[in-house]
């Protein structure tokens, strides 16, 4: 189906459509004018403010909590410790029922696991620097913070697990009672005949790659407010979260509070990137304190708290072994994947989320007949690992695409030619693990990038003679599984049990439309895109559509915003619900115009007889008839214009694809890197709004550049964090960012109603690999780890400097 066919199908009549148009974001009016209301803007009468005493030791037993210094503050202070909150925790089993944790089509693997619980306040033992020990409540936020700083905690040191090697050392005691080791989860998955691949291989290439630990760092940190109203017995929780319904469910279950009387509201969310896609101890604790004290309670995270105690990401070590034919065809791949997931398993994606995702996606866009992976999650005395834009795929693609360049170098083949020899070209395609890929443009995207950077590759070759400046070009080819459906989560056996997004569409008597959707916007432009989708289906203008989200009182139950599901599933649910209303409008119009409903099209605010533009009824009149003048409706038709759709994702999701190309220039004397150019060719199926797609891609690329060259959360050998402010934790700024060129290919998928695939995370996935490959191309040396900062590049360029000194006779 062509794009024109798909857009024709979306709207009905063959007319210009809102879907696919570069519509400006309607939410920007309030976001850019200062009218938006964020968590910290919310005030409640009688509100108490919460400050935390957080652990300063990585692993220790708490021997005393001394509050005697609070007496001279001159304010009423209340302090709560782990004894007060005993039994309350975040429970996130890394898996369950291992025997039924199958891959598609019976592909099996072993699975062993251990579970942990994170107490709301430390249960006598602290397991990472930043873990909450005590909660301090005061009338004033500054007094609460001052009070927390005055509380003295005494510790008895316990052995610290600070590295992956220590986590796998049997001589170091496990972090949790009853555990037999510090391995949360270990699993193996396999498919195809790997023994045959080994036997037939002309080349066996084995490499190890590492991606550093990072923080998520959205512009707005986390925050929670909770207030209990005894008059209606409703507990309302405001949280800067991506998953309001899941937060509500967890709070209800953990606190034993009726979910029907628990309302969770996500106000404006100033960025999330997956960080706010977990349920945190702070959310449960603030809700518990509101019930305990009978007063509203508020906590807002500061930047240091975010860096040390929110969630971390990446920290992957991969060893890959490729079995390659003489002509460059990949015959088989083995992967050993180790991830440092920190001190606790996070809810709902668990300690197994990152290593499991990496193992699942490592075959990537390539036709690899045999594949086997062993992955493990290790517990250490660090901040817990959680979801962050890309979720393991930046690390997996780094290893996958560095391996492709290393194979090309080993066998003397052009790296793009090697990829073109191996990419999947026939769809649908079932990979070695049994996952089914929908239609894509893997080869076309590679060929487009090859043409776009041809001159840059020539410049890179010419720079090889220079001892001062080198140019390099690197590419990264990847797929992004998104819109995962319930069967995909059933296989994982983790606390995410479903994969659906629900939308409710209502048309009012004046013809205005309200869309209530179970997503939560944190920068994606949902209000604009969902209005475009509803407007197309209903024949009205986007400005006549009001989109509401983030409030469990008004929106239908859904799993929230993560996994690049907003456009394909959220947009698809809005589309399907709106079509139900459109069918009713057409039936009423056909009744009034004495024709058949199949002869009616909705556009321009009118229900028009197809082929006779002069015969029409205003849609606003139809709305009034359906809700007020019901005597004019067809006999037997029920009044009202409201419809809901809960759209589950496909069993294997949808697969966007992209190729990123980085052109770097490196100063050999200093190691300074300049990105001369960054090119993206992406295919996310039907593009719902090109303006928003481009923004999402470019924003993701900026984060990926940070991953590649700057961001690194560092701990010392005692588990003490060393990068706890922006003086040490370096973020990409304007000087590091080149013009990011975005080119599109559109291959609609049959797996979602609009033909759309996910795109929100893709921009962040490719840059580490593309930049690393460009560095390797420029310097002529293997690159096996990030970040590629100036010190790392200066070290990699040592041989070039030494050769230049020899030539000069120094």
CB atoms within 10 A of CB 632: 14
Backbone angles phi, psi at 361, to 5 degrees: -100, -5
3-state secondary structure of 573: helix
40 exposure class (CB count in 10 Å sphere: 0-12, 13-18, 19+) = middle
The CA-atom distances, in angstroms, between 712 and each of 211, 223, 317, 628, 785 are: 9, 24, 15, 61, 12
Comparing CA positions, the residue from 435, 448, 319, 530 lying closest to residue 744 is 448
The pair of three-digit structure tokens given for residue 77, joined into one six-digit string: 């202070």
DSSP 262: E
Q: Is the pLDDT of residue 582 over 50?
A: yes
Residues in CB range of 190: below 8 A, 6 or more apart: 107, 109, 371, 372, 373, 432, 433
Q: Is the pLDDT of residue 82 over 70?
A: yes
DSSP 383: P
pLDDT of residue 111: 65
Buried-state track 21-35, b at ≥16 Cβ within 10 A, e below 16: bebebbbeeeeeeee
pLDDT digits (tens, 9 = 90+) for 531-550: 999 999 999 999 999 999 99
**Are residues 472 and 774 in contact, defined by beta-carbon separation less than 8 angstroms?**
yes
Comparing CA positions, the residue from 549, 798, 768, 763 lying closest to residue 666 is 798
Mean pLDDT confidence for 27-35: 94
Comparing CA positions, the residue from 809, 801, 791, 805 lying closest to residue 669 is 801
Query: pLDDT category, 96, cuts 50, 70, 90?
Result: low
**Are residues 496 and 348 in contact, defined by beta-carbon separation less than 8 angstroms?**
yes
Q: What is the mean pLDDT of the chain?
A: 95
Positions of E strands within 230-279: 234-239, 262-265
Positions of E strands within 486-565: 500-507, 513-517, 545-548
Pick the residue with more confidence: 6 or 483? Answer: 483
353-361 and 393-411 helices, crossing angle to 10°: 40
DSSP 448: H
Token pair 């992957």 is at which residue?
316
Q: Is the pLDDT of residue 301 over 70?
A: yes
List 657's β-bridge partners, or say none: 479, 683
**Are residues 487 and 651 in contact, defined by beta-carbon separation less than 8 angstroms?**
yes
Mean pLDDT confidence for 636-649: 97
pLDDT of residue 598: 97
Query: pLDDT category, 99, cuts 50, 70, 90?
Result: very low
pLDDT digits (tens, 9 = 90+) for 558-575: 999 999 999 999 999 999
Calpha distance 242→562 (Å, rounded): 7
DSSP 551: B
Q: Among positive and negative, which fits the CA dihedral 767, 437, 416, 317?
A: positive
446 exposure class (CB count in 10 Å sphere: 0-12, 13-18, 19+) = buried
Buried-state track 519-554, b at ≥16 Cβ within 10 A, e below 16: bbbbbbbbbbbbbbbbbbbbbbebebbbbebbbbee
Across the chain, how many H-helices and E-strands are there? Answer: 22, 31
Mean pLDDT confidence for 315-334: 98
Q: Is the pLDDT of residue 199 over 80?
A: yes
Residues in the chain: 810
Mean pLDDT confidence for 242-248: 98
pLDDT digits (tens, 9 = 90+) for 143-195: 999 999 999 999 999 999 999 999 999 999 999 999 999 999 999 999 999 99
Calpha distance 334→359 (Å, rounded): 10
List 507's β-bridge partners, or say none: 513
**Are residues 708 and 771 in contact, defined by beta-carbon separation less than 8 angstroms?**
yes
Calpha distance 136→53 (Å, rounded): 8
Comparing CA positions, the residue from 528, 482, 364 lying closest to residue 433 is 364
pLDDT of residue 75: 82
**Are residues 318 and 355 in contact, defined by beta-carbon separation less than 8 angstroms?**
no
Pick the residue with more confidence: 9 or 228? Answer: 228
| Percentage of residues in the chain having pLDDT higher than 90 | 92
pLDDT digits (tens, 9 = 90+) for 109-126: 556 789 999 999 999 999
**Are residues 581 and 512 in contact, defined by beta-carbon separation less than 8 angstroms?**
no
Mean pLDDT confidence for 752-759: 96
Q: Is the pLDDT of residue 13 over 50?
A: no
DSSP secondary structure, 157-181, as one string: E-----SHHHHT-TTSPPSSTT-SS
Q: Is the pLDDT of residue 384 over 50?
A: yes
Residues in CB range of 333: below 8 A, 6 or more apart: 320, 321, 322, 323, 362, 363, 368, 370, 371, 372
43 exposure class (CB count in 10 Å sphere: 0-12, 13-18, 19+) = exposed
Q: Is the pLDDT of residue 302 over 60?
A: yes
The pair of three-digit structure tokens given for residue 62, joined into one six-digit string: 């708490």
pLDDT of residue 8: 43
Calpha distance 507→624 (Å, rounded): 9
pLDDT digits (tens, 9 = 90+) for 398-442: 999 999 999 999 999 999 999 999 999 999 999 999 999 999 999
3-state secondary structure of 205: strand
Domains in the chain and their CATH numbers? Answer: 3-33+500-648 (3.30.365.10), 218-308 (3.30.365.10), 415-483+653-808 (3.30.365.10)
């Amino acid at each position: 189906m062509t794009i024109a066919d798909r857009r024709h199908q979306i709207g009905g009549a063959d007319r210009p459509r809102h879907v696919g148009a570069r519509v400006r974001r309607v939410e920007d009016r309030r976001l850019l004018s200062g009218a938006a209301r964020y968590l910290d803007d919310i005030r409640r009468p009688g509100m108490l403010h919460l400050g935390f005493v957080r652990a300063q030791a990585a692993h220790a037993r708490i021997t005393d909590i001394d509050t005697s210094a609070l007496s001279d503050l001159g304010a009423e202070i209340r302090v709560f410790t782990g004894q007060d909150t005993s039994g309350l925790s975040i429970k996130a089993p890394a898996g369950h029922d291992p025997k039924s944790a199958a891959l598609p089509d019976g592909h099996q693997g072993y699975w062993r696991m251990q579970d942990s619980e994170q107490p709301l306040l430390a249960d006598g033992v602290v397991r990472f620097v930043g873990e909450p020990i005590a909660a301090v409540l005061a009338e004033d936020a500054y007094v609460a913070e001052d009070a927390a700083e005055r509380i003295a905690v005494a510790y008895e040191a316990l052995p610290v697990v600070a590295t992956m090697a220590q986590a796998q050392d049997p001589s170091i005691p496990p972090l949790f009672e009853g555990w037999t080791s510090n391995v949360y989860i270990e699993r193996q998955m396999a498919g195809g005949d790997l023994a045959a691949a080994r036997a037939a291989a002309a080349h066996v290439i084995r490499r190890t790659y590492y991606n550093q630990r990072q923080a998520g760092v959205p512009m707005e940190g986390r925050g929670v407010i909770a207030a209990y109203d005894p008059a209606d017995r409703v507990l309302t929780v405001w949280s800067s979260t991506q998953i309001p319904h899941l937060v509500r469910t967890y709070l209800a279950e953990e606190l034993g509070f009726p979910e029907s009387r628990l309302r969770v509201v996500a106000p404006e969310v100033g960025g999330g990137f997956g960080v706010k896609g977990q349920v945190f101890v702070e959310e449960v604790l603030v809700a518990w304190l509101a019930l305990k004290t009978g007063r509203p309670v508020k906590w807002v995270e500061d930047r240091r708290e975010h860096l040390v105690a929110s969630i971390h990401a990446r920290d992957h070590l991969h060893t890959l072994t490729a079995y390659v034919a003489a002509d460059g065809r990949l015959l088989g791949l083995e992967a050993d994947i180790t991830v440092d997931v920190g001190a606790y398993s996070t809810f709902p994606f668990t300690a197994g989320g990152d290593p499991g995702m990496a193992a699942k996606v490592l075959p990537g866009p390539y036709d690899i007949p045999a594949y086997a992976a062993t992955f493990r999650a290790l517990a250490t005395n660090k901040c817990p690992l959680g979801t962050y834009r890309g979720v393991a795929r930046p690390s997996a693609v780094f290893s996958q695409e560095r391996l492709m360049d290393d194979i090309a170098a080993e066998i003397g083949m052009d790296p793009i030619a090697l990829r073109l020899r191996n990419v999947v070209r026939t769809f649908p395609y079932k990979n070695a693990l049994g996952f089914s890929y929908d239609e894509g443009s893997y080869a076309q995207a590679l060929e487009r990038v090859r043409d776009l950077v041809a001159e840059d590759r020539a410049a890179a070759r010419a720079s090889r003679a220079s001892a001062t400046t080198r140019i390099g070009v690197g590419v990264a080819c990847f797929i992004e599984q998104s819109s995962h459906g319930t069967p995909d989560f059933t296989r994982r056996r983790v606390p995410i049990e479903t994969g659906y997004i629900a939308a409710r569409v209502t048309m009012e008597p004046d013809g205005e439309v309200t869309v209530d959707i179970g997503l939560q916007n944190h920068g994606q432009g949902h209000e604009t895109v969902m209005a475009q989708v509803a407007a197309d289906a209903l024949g009205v203008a986007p400005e006549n559509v009001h989109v509401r989200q983030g409030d469990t009182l008004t929106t239908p139950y859904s799993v929230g915003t993560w996994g690049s599901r907003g456009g394909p599933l959220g947009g698809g649910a809005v589309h399907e619900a709106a079509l139900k209303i459109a069918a009713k409008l057409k039936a009423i119009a056909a009744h009034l115009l004495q024709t058949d409903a199949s002869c009616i099209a909705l556009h321009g605010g009118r229900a028009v007889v197809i082929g006779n533009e002069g015969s029409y009824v205003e849609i606003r009149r139809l709305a009034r008839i359906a809700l007020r003048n019901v005597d004019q409706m067809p006999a037997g038709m029920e009044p009202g214009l409201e419809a809901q759709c809960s759209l589950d994702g496909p069993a294997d999701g949808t697969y966007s694809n992209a190729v990123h190309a980085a052109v770097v220039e490196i100063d050999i004397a200093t190691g300074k890197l300049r990105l001369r150019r960054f090119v993206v060719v992406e295919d996310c199926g039907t593009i719902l709004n090109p303006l928003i797609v481009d923004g999402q891609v470019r924003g993701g690329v900026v984060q990926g550049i940070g991953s590649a060259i700057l961001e690194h959360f560092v701990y010392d050998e005692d588990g003490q964090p060393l990068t706890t402010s922006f003086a040490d934790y370096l973020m990409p700024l304007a000087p590091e960012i080149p013009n990011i060129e975005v080119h599109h290919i559109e291959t609609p998928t049959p797996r979602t109603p609009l033909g759309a695939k996910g795109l929100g995370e893709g921009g962040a996935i490719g840059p580490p690999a593309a930049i690393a490959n460009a560095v390797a191309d420029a310097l002529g040396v293997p690159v096996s780890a990030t970040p590629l900062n100036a010190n790392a590049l200066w070290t990699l360029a040592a041989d070039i400097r030494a050769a230049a000194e020899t030539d000069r006779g120094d």
